[in-house]
Structure 1
Amino acid sequence: MVSFFKVSRYISTQHLVLLTSTISTSPSPSPSPSPSKWSQAIKNASSPHKSVQIYTQMHRQSIPVDSFTVLYTLTACTHLHNLPLLRHFHAQIIKLGFTSNVYIMSSLLHSYSNACFGDARQLFNEMPERTTVTWNTMITGFSRRGNVKKARSLFDEMPIRNIASWSAMIAAYVNTGHQNEGHELLCKMLTDEKLKPDEFTLCAILGGCGHMGTNRTMGFVLGKSIHGFIMRNQWQLNVELGTVLVDMYAKCGFLNAAIAVFDMIRNPNVISWTALICGAGQHGYVNEARTLFDQMQEVGVKPNELTFTGILSACVHAGLVEEGRVYFNLIEEYGLKPNIHHYGCMVDLFGRAGELEDAYEVITRMQPEANMKIWGSFLSSCKVLDNFKMAEKVIKRVIEMLRPEKDGGVYSLIADLFVMGEKWDDAERIRRLMVNQNVRKARGASFISKCGP
């Protein structure tokens, strides 16, 4: 494999100048003879585009570049999510001789992990010196891509691990649905390594306690024990830690405990309120969810998109059609745009109430267009209500969107609808299509939206 560093050497400064010249045409600041002032100008620029423009101007005027200049410009490149720009700046770092600067190379690795993880992997493999930060960056990168095995492999290879390393690996397990493994690793950290967890570690574990499925009781016990650890060590219950505790208790169905923790948070934010509302609605505490939503508005906290998903989901499960309409109309009143989850809730709500015309109208005016989950919800309501006429309006369009590898349940649903409408030939055609395309039938498929922070 060709070395990443060798390839980058041949990218000229002119490439960076040409690329960044297309980013912004606004005039650059007045030149200053002091490189430190240029660095501060890059750091304090009004936008990442402006930061890169100032850096380019430095090169045009042959202003010396120091490590702070490079670090601030790297930060700007990361925010721009522009891979060609980042690669060209990497070439600049090599030409300027900063490849031995641990802080710069760590920052570069972090930038690549967000822009192109393949480049991050290659850079990591060729780095002459790796720090704990670089190892942690790669563990988090593999975790975000669902490759928890590779993340664990790197974790095991690390020569030195700090609390951030353990936290990153525990978060990798929890975020990929391996809560039990995350719990085991936490126990190992406490007993074998004698390390005291920090806030990030506990937030990662608590985040998975409410997602243990059939092991929800275990999640509650684990979450409660972590809560006890926090109290015994007299940790301050700030917004971040308090919110994950609220979310854990609410998702496990212990709304009173969630409210008790919520009341201890000094300045709960919209995420805190949303966790409580979603948890209440998810477990059937619909009146409580509505009361919380009203209280949130009264204290001046503006609901976000997820808050509305939570309250609309509560209306769906309780069959509150008119209330759902009111909440849906509130979305735009708060300056937000209804998203596909909000539309999906309304389709479910109208479908369950037998108001198929209203559900159909919601689908026709959706932006973005309905996905297969929403189409499936609508067709399922048509089947339950024995209304083939409404289903027939959309079946042809849905068939054109079907994916054999993912939509087996919808194939079967359409075949059943054709039988219900006595369209025997069409039903047989769909069943033959399922055989020819090797469609896998989905088990226990549901088209009802779920809410969770």
Structure 2
Amino acid sequence: MYAKSSRPAEASYLFHNIAEKNIVSWNAMVANFAQNRLELKALQLVREMPIHNEFPNSVTLTNVLPACARGHFLRPGKEIHARIIRKGLNFDLFLTNALTDMYAKCGCLNLAQNVFNISFRDEVSYNILIVGYSQTSDCSESLSLFSEMRLLGMKHDVVSFMGAISACANLAAIKQGKEIHGVTIRKHLHTHLFVANSILDFYTRSGRIDLANKIFDCLPVKDSASWNTLILGYGMLGEVDTAINLFEAMREDGVGYDPVSYIAILTACSHGGLVEKGKKYFDEMQADSVKPTEMHYACMVDLLGRAGLMEDAVKLIKNLPVEPDANIWGALLGACRIYGNVELGAWAAEHLFMLKPQHCGYYILLSNMYAEAGKWDEASKVRELMKSREAKKNPGCSWVQTRDEVQDFVVNDRMKTFTPGPA
């Protein structure tokens, strides 16, 4: 009761005052910690169980695996996987789904796929991988799995559609995205807020802001994600006045701003060159008790840098209350590229080389800056540094859509084909 009411302290107090605990007591407490985002405590409790002559069963492990997934605890997750195999529980559908989800959220989709391949599967199993692949460069796998579900007679639900539509957005597969949108209408799921927001994001990222706007206007209920998507879309297209009007209308509609809202409006101000407006929104954000993150600071550096205010951008970076991350240094490097500030660009690049030594883009950008300035020796040294660190440029990939097929190919590569199917 206390755990489900988000009162873990009270639940913990009752647990520790139970004279004789059994496996049900332990499982309830593990679930308490896991559900209330106390992932480390959940893991610690599982490790303490054998000391008290209680041993984790399938319910315990099903409860603790989501904690590993949320905390990206890959090694403890693998330990639990090994325990599952030793206990012969690897045919338990709930456990294998929890394992697949844990590996997917830890960024190990190859391991998630391995578990999926050798396990019993239901709609949840497919949804985990559909969503997982939709957020990677292998998002075509999402559409393949989405089609496979239909062929096997499984029903698509809200999660299935969210993952498939997100994959279409990443692939710029407009025809497939429209087909899936049509299926959501036939199944009366297009007004479900999560599905509607996914469709909104798809059309925005596909450059069809007109269709995104129509969908937005038809939404019976709009949350912050709905508003943020449209604000960011208009901002990226350079329609800054529309983005600002939407941002102001959002508050009037009774929807509170969240951290993403401010990222969207700061990005819009940056693309529109509205420095003072961006500064005003940044100050308002802090007044609204929204704590700035590295991404907000990166937006401010980008805002100042695009406007040519390099000294202000450097001053901001030097006075940050947090350690600048790659997004912040990358924003500064991009601004230096625009204005040809080689010295400042080299300073930003040095930090980027330490933070992301395998990211080839930063080396290429600095090398090109040196070349444009006529500093050929420095350009050559950067290229040699890139080779020594084995930072290789990913080959460009193109997609060609023909009827119901999307064909993807790279230079010197044979053409590959997948046919996702609409539903």
Asked if Structure 1 and Structure 2 have the same fold, meaning a TM-score greater than 0.5 normalized by the shorter chain, the answer is: yes
Return the match for 1:183 from 143, 146, 167. Answer: 143
Q: Output aligned runs, 1:375-414, within 5 Å.
A: 375-382=329-336, 384-387=338-341, 391=343, 399=350, 402-403=353-354, 405-406=357-358, 410=362
Q: Kindly provide the amino acid, as one letter, of the partner of residue 190 in structure 1.
A: R
Q: Kindly provide the amino acid, as one letter, of the partner of residue 75 in structure 1.
A: A
- What 5-or-longer segments of structure 1 have no aligned partner? 1-39, 445-453
Q: Kindly provide the amino acid, as one letter, of the partner of residue 198 in structure 1.
A: D
The CA deviation string for residues 91-114 of structure 1, in whole angstroms up to 9 with x for no partner, is 26x834673xx4344224444555
Q: Distance in 2 between matches of 1:49 and 1:386?
A: 56
Return the match for 2:11 from 15, 39, 51. Answer: 51
Indicate the SS of the match to 2:289. coil
Corresponding position of 2:239: 285
Indicate the SS of the match to 1:211. helix
TM-score by length of 1: 0.74
Shift of 1:336: 0.9
Corresponding position of 1:12: none
Corresponding position of 2:408: none
Q: Distance in 2 between matches of 1:332 and 1:164?
A: 40
1:435 to 1:343, Cα distance in 2 relative to 1, 3 A: closer
Q: Output aligned runs, 1:88-237, within 5 Å.
A: 88-91=47-50, 95-96=53-54, 99=57, 102-114=58-70, 115=73, 116-129=76-89, 130-159=91-120, 161-191=121-151, 193-212=152-171, 216=172, 218=173, 220-235=174-189, 237=191
1:290 to 1:197, Cα distance in 2 relative to 1, 3 A: same
Q: Contact (CA 8 Å) 1:109, 1:123: kept in 2 or not?
A: no
Q: For the pair shown, which has the larger CA radius of gyration, 1 or 2?
A: 1
Q: Output aligned runs, 1:41-80, within 5 Å.
A: 44=5, 46=7, 48-58=8-18, 62-65=19-22, 67=24, 69-78=25-34, 79-80=37-38
Indicate the SS of the match to 1:267. coil
Shift of 1:381: 3.2
Q: Output aligned runs, 1:18-37, within 5 Å.
A: none
Q: Distance in 1 between matches of 2:316 and 2:187?
A: 51
Shift of 1:262: 2.0
Q: Distance in 1 between matches of 2:273 and 2:394?
A: 26
Q: Distance in 2 between matches of 1:236 and 1:409?
A: 39
Corresponding position of 2:322: 368
Q: Distance in 2 between matches of 1:373 and 1:236?
A: 35
Shift of 1:419: 8.4
1:136 to 1:300, Cα distance in 2 relative to 1, 3 A: same
Shift of 1:385: 3.1
**What is the root-mean-square deviation in Å for CA atoms of aligned residues?**
3.4
Return the match for 1:355 from 297, 305, 309. Answer: 309
- What 5-or-longer segments of structure 2 have no aligned partner? 396-423
Q: Is 1:82 the equivalent of 2:40?
A: yes
Percent of paired sites with the same residue? 24
Q: Contact (CA 8 Å) 2:366, 2:379: kept in 1 or not?
A: no
Shift of 1:293: 0.8
1:407 to 1:155, Cα distance in 2 relative to 1, 3 A: closer
Q: Contact (CA 8 Å) 2:231, 2:243: kept in 1 or not?
A: yes
Pick 1 or 2: higher relative contact order, CA cutoff 8 A, min separation 6. 2
1:169 to 1:421, Cα distance in 2 relative to 1, 3 A: closer
Shift of 1:368: 1.4
1:147 to 1:231, Cα distance in 2 relative to 1, 3 A: same
- How many residue pairs were aligned? 387
Indicate the SS of the match to 2:218. coil
Q: Distance in 1 between matches of 2:369 and 2:236?
A: 30
Name whichever of 146-155 and 405-414 sits farther off: 405-414
Shift of 1:375: 3.0
Indicate the SS of the match to 2:255. coil
Q: Contact (CA 8 Å) 1:174, 1:207: kept in 2 or not?
A: yes
Q: Kindly provide the amino acid, as one letter, of the partner of residue 82 in structure 1.
A: L
Q: Distance in 2 between matches of 1:432 and 1:152?
A: 37
Corresponding position of 2:289: 335
Q: Contact (CA 8 Å) 1:49, 1:80: kept in 2 or not?
A: no
Q: Distance in 2 between matches of 1:406 and 1:71?
A: 43
Q: Is 1:242 the equivalent of 2:201?
A: no
Q: Kindly provide the amino acid, as one letter, of the partner of residue 167 in structure 2.
A: G
Shift of 1:286: 2.5
1:56 to 1:42, Cα distance in 2 relative to 1, 3 A: farther
Indicate the SS of the match to 1:266. coil
Name whichever of 433-442 and 128-137 sits farther off: 433-442
Indicate the SS of the match to 2:292. coil
Q: Is 1:269 the equivalent of 2:223?
A: yes
Shift of 1:250: 1.4
1:234 to 1:55, Cα distance in 2 relative to 1, 3 A: same
1:105 to 1:420, Cα distance in 2 relative to 1, 3 A: closer
1:431 to 1:236, Cα distance in 2 relative to 1, 3 A: closer
Indicate the SS of the match to 2:357. coil
Indicate the SS of the match to 1:325. helix
The CA deviation string for residues 197-229 of structure 1, in whole angstroms up to 9 with x for no partner, is 0111111112222111xxx1x2x2222212211
Q: Distance in 1 between matches of 2:106 and 2:340?
A: 43
Shift of 1:424: 9.7
Q: Distance in 2 between matches of 1:224 and 1:387?
A: 44
The CA deviation string for residues 92-149 of structure 1, in whole angstroms up to 9 with x for no partner, is 6x834673xx434422444455542222222222233332111111111221233323
Q: Contact (CA 8 Å) 2:294, 2:327: kept in 1 or not?
A: no
Q: Distance in 1 between matches of 2:239 and 2:135?
A: 27
The CA deviation string for residues 32-65 of structure 1, in whole angstroms up to 9 with x for no partner, is xxxxxxxx4565573x34423321221xxx2454
Indicate the SS of the match to 1:82. helix
1:413 to 1:147, Cα distance in 2 relative to 1, 3 A: closer
Shift of 1:430: 5.5
Q: Distance in 2 between matches of 1:236 and 1:441?
A: 42
Q: Contact (CA 8 Å) 2:301, 2:331: kept in 1 or not?
A: yes
1:317 to 1:201, Cα distance in 2 relative to 1, 3 A: same
Shift of 1:344: 1.6
Q: Distance in 2 between matches of 1:176 and 1:429?
A: 33
Q: Kindly provide the amino acid, as one letter, of the partner of residue 180 in structure 1.
A: S
